């Protein structure tokens, strides 16, 4: 572990960096009652008044006119406001749901091509405003993190530059994502961070970041309030990265796994997991008609109302999962949104599996985590614009041929072989296909 400077030293260094960037924004203003011993963290003061519930959040408008699709992306090399290019917007405006990753505007430059420091929340707000101006019906969600506190941004933005260790001397590259106001603020109060078995701030296995201490109601409120602040800037909800643990899997997210990931005691792990779940339940409620987007379908209906599932593939498991989500939604009488973020793009087999199982509020998700360079964001594959129409019925399954079958209002017919091998290299999907009506595809 890298030796730590005293808290006064950390504050002074952080303030120096911030002044170079133009001074602390008002939301990151430090408590004026600084300690004098260089070790004791600054006093917190009373909790702030909670942010009001979202009154403007809206779900995406689901349609079967074409394949229901969403997009998950960001642009790192933006202008000084952190927004997308006009060419990017032409692509993004075609999707009913856009989630913006944590890299938006990370490598922003001014008109002279000089790097500028940009808070991630400002980049998100600018991007949301852009997208809504093109199509106000699009639901836009910034991708926040429920666990990790990213303060390791590189000092001049260059990928070869040293990592900022002002507030977290242990941070490595994976903790150098974006520039976050909430992260900078909470790092100054170690009493709000999870502690490891040695009583020091816990260091996550991924990125060696510090971690929000969700055992504390104040921290739960802090996360919820920061999400609600983004909705005040136009967002329709928030992403909840690491909502199901470091494996993005409820099944694998055991107490022991949490203990290992944070190097904390069992008592801390149990309390932290319960507190994080409560935070997400409360945030979902506060978003009203908005989205809290987790990572695993098993979370739906408990503490989130939407997920972005990384690893959705061409398999019978995708079909049965989608159908089970529809059944859960009907049982709970709740809308549950699922994004099938594919492993290998929109190949015919994966799209077929999705269409066989998909229900209302299900989307096939396009895009990577971030992009840069002269080429615009371009995730709208031609297949997504072919007429589809609503399904005529749920899919039927023939156990003799192991084939699923489903027809749509346009005349398009989809089949999928349940024995299809998900491995793209050695895939065998005999009988799988999409017969597009009058399009020869």
Mean pLDDT score, 417-429: 80
Q: Return the pLDDT at 161.
A: 77
pLDDT band at residue 224 under the 50/70/90 scheme: very high
| Inter-helix orientation angle 120-134/217-232, to 10° | 40
pLDDT at 365 over 60: yes
Cα–Cα distance, 363 to 89 (Å, whole number):
20
Interatomic CA distance for residues 335 and 243, integer angstroms: 19
What is the chain's mean pLDDT, rounded? 88
Per the CB < 8 A criterion, the answer to whether 246 and 206 are in contact is: yes
Indicate the length of the chain as a whole number. 441
pLDDT at 8: 33
- Weakest-pLDDT range from 6-15, 80-89, 199-208, 363-372: 6-15
- Contact status, residue 76 vs residue 370, Cβ threshold 8 Å: yes
Q: Is the pLDDT of residue 95 over 50?
A: yes
Can you give the pLDDT at residue 41? 76
pLDDT at 426: 72
SS3 145: strand
pLDDT tens for 274-315 read 999 999 999 999 999 999 999 999 999 999 999 999 888 999
15 pLDDT above the threshold of 50: no
Q: What is the mean pLDDT of residues 315-322?
A: 96
- The whole-number pLDDT of residue 274 equals 98
153 by Cβ neighbours in 10 Å (0-12 / 13-18 / 19+) ranks as buried
**Alpha helix locations (H) across 70-192?**
86-92, 120-134, 181-187
Decide: 299 and 337 in contact? Cβ < 8 Å.
Answer: no
Which of 105-114, 324-333, 386-395 has the weakest average pLDDT? 105-114
The answer to whether 315 and 350 are in contact (CB under 8 A) is no
CA distances 332 to 301, 305, 325, 336, 354, Å, are 8, 11, 10, 9, 23
pLDDT at position 183 is 94
- Residue 66 pLDDT more than 90? yes
Give the pLDDT band (50/70/90) at residue 18: very low
Tokens of 58: 């809206």
Render pLDDT for 146-192 as a digit per residue (tens, 0 to 9). 999 998 777 665 667 788 888 999 999 889 888 899 999 999 999 99
Q: What is the pLDDT of residue 424?
A: 67
Q: How far is Cα 222 from Cα 282, in angstroms, rounded to an integer?
A: 12
Tell me phi and psi for residue 341, to 5 degrees: -85, 105
DSSP secondary structure string for all residues of 12-75:
HHHHHHHHHTTS--GGGPPPS---SSSSSPPP--SPPPPPPPPSS--------SS--EEEEE-B
Residue 202, sorted as left (phi over 0), alpha (psi -120 to 50) or beta, turns out to be beta
Residues 6+ apart with CB under 8 A from 23: none
Q: What angle do CA 322, 324, 328 make, to 5 degrees?
A: 120
- Nearby residues of 142 by Cβ (< 8 Å), 6 or more positions away: 99, 100, 104, 121, 124, 128, 230, 235, 238, 239
Is 382 strand, coil or helix? Answer: helix
- In DSSP terms, 416 is beta-bridged to 404
């Amino acid at each position: 572990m890298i030796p730590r400077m005293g808290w006064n030293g950390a504050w002074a260094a952080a303030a120096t960096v911030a002044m170079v960037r133009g001074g602390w924004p008002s939301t990151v203003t430090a408590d004026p009652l600084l300690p004098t011993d260089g070790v004791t963290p600054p006093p917190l003061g009373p909790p702030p008044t909670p942010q009001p519930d979202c009154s403007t959040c809206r779900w995406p408008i689901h349609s079967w006119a074409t394949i229901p699709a969403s997009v998950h992306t960001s642009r790192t090399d933006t202008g000084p406001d952190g927004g997308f290019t006009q060419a990017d917007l032409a692509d993004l405006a075609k999707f009913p749901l856009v989630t913006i990753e944590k890299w938006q505007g990370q490598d922003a430059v001014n008109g002279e091509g000089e790097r500028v420091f940009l808070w991630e929340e400002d980049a998100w707000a600018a991007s949301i405003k852009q997208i809504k101006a093109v199509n106000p019906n699009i639901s836009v969600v910034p991708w926040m993190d429920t666990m990790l506190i990213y303060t390791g941004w590189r000092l001049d933005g260059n990928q070869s530059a040293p990592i900022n260790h002002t507030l977290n001397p242990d941070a490595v590259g994976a903790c150098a994502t974006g520039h976050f106001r909430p992260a900078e603020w909470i790092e100054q109060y170690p009493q709000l961070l999870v502690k490891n078995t040695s009583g020091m701030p816990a260091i996550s296995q991924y990125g060696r970041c510090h971690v929000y201490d969700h055992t504390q109601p104040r921290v739960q409120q802090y996360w919820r309030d920061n999400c609600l602040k983004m909705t005040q800037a136009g967002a329709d909800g928030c992403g909840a990265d690491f909502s199901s643990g470091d494996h993005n899997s409820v099944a694998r997210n055991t107490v022991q796994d949490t203990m290992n990931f944070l190097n904390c005691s069992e008592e801390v792990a149990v309390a932290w997991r319960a507190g994080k779940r409560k935070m997400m339940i409360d945030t979902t409620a506060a978003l009203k008609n908005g989205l809290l987007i987790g990572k695993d379908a098993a979370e739906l209906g408990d503490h989130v109302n939407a997920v972005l599932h990384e690893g959705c593939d061409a398999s019978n498991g995708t079909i049965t999962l989608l159908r089970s989500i529809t059944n859960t939604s009907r049982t709970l009488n709740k809308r549950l949104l699922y994004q099938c973020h594919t492993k290998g793009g929109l190949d015919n087999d994966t799209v077929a599996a999705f269409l066989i199982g998909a229900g209302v509020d299900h989307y096939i998700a396009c895009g990577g985590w971030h992009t840069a360079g002269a080429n615009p964001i371009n995730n709208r594959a031609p297949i997504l614009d072919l007429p589809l129409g609503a399904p005529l019925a749920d899919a039927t399954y023939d156990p003799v041929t192991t084939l699923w079958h489903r027809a749509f209002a346009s005349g398009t017919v989809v089949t999928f072989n349940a024995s299809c091998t998900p491995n793209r290299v050695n895939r065998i999907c005999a009988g799988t296909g999409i017969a597009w009506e009058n399009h020869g595809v």
